[in-house]
Amino acid sequence: MNTLRTAMLLAAMTALFMGVGFLIGGTGGMMIALLIAAGTNLFSYWNADKMVLSMNRAVEVDEKNAPEYYAIVQSLAKQAGLPMPKTYLIDNPQPNAFATGRNPQNAAVAASTGLLQALTPEEVAAVMAHELAHVQHRDTLTMTIVATFAGAISMLGNFAFFFSGNRDNNPFGFVGVLAAMIVAPFAAMVVQMAVSRTREYEADRRGAEICGHPLWLASALDKIARGAERIRNPDAERNPATAHLFIINPLHGERMDSLFSTHPATENRIAALQAMARDMAGSETRAAPRQAPTPRQADELRPSGPWDQTARPEQPAEPAKPKSNPWGRNPTGPRGRWS
């Protein structure tokens, strides 16, 4: 079903693109727009992930220079049945993360240093599970292509001004030019934002299933949203077309939960996750209405992934070791803070 919806969406964007071409230059303009649309699709398919990572100055890491972060992604990918994606860090104080890539075999996930510093390991696991859900649903490819189409349609709308004087090629005259300049780019923006919002809810749900704890993600979303309000992201501000890829909108001034916001309101997403947690708890109670577990039994039921750093009661807790950064082990690396 998701593949069918993606195909329908891309067909609609291509038709909209061709419609703008027809408004500008008639049949000839429509055919040129079709060729541009095909080229846009191909370019986005092969190069969009590299472009997004470069725009945000993301650097690839591995188990040597970011062992805990890498281990979390590795464990979650295995849990989700996905190939291990390339793992990137963004040297940026704003807590945020995104995923990109044309398919699960060529996917990449990226988290900011601000995210790793502000969140607990459990919350980081929930965030990365959300991003892996986007990879599993193939949202990364779809949203990148939609963003590229929206930008191209807006570009055609700007070009329409230069064709306004050629009435032979423009069958609708000034009305067609006006539609190309205003209505078509606006329609592309609405489609882009509406699709992004829908897929965020789906990724929240699937991400909570992957990590097994909806409230981890709910807590993470609250912290990320508050951090994004206080801390600006200059790279995202320079490239606003990529804002919808992040788990929380990195741009300032996006607060309304309406069709014109790239992300649903954080409060609504948290409420949905809390409802999911209650449903999961109710299902467990109905399935096993036994007495509450003892403290030792409860401890044995805790998750055993790399984000579970709580010492067992029967084991003495090791003294905390000082670290100069939360996830990397080489504070003298080229980037200092996390390498």
Residue list, annotated binding site for Zn(2+): 130, 134, 200
- How does strand 107-112 pair with strand 86-90? parallel
Structure token digits, residue 300: 């044995």
Considering just the CA atoms, what is the radius of gyration of the chain in Å? 23
Cα gap 161→171, rounded to integer Å: 15
Cα gap 16→23, rounded to integer Å: 11
Residue-by-residue DSSP string for 259-283 = TTSSS--HHHHHHHHHHHHHHHHHH
**Is residue 161 within a helix (H) or strand (E), and if so which, with residue range?**
helix 139-163
**Alpha-carbon distances, residue 89 vs 112, 127, 263 (angstroms):** 6, 14, 22
Question: Is residue 131 flagged as an active site residue?
Answer: yes
To 5 degrees, how large is the angle CA 58–CA 56–CA 211? 65
Cα gap 185→206, rounded to integer Å: 32
To 5 degrees, how large is the angle CA 163–CA 168–CA 169? 50
Cα gap 24→329, rounded to integer Å: 57
Instruction: Write the CB contacts of 224 (distance below 8 Å, at least 6 apart in sequence).
Output: 95, 96, 115, 118, 119, 127, 247, 248
DSSP, res 183: I
Bind-site residues: 130, 134, 200
Q: Which of 131, 229, 267, 300 is catalytic?
A: 131
**Is residue 171 within a helix (H) or strand (E), and if so which, with residue range?**
none
Active site residues: 131
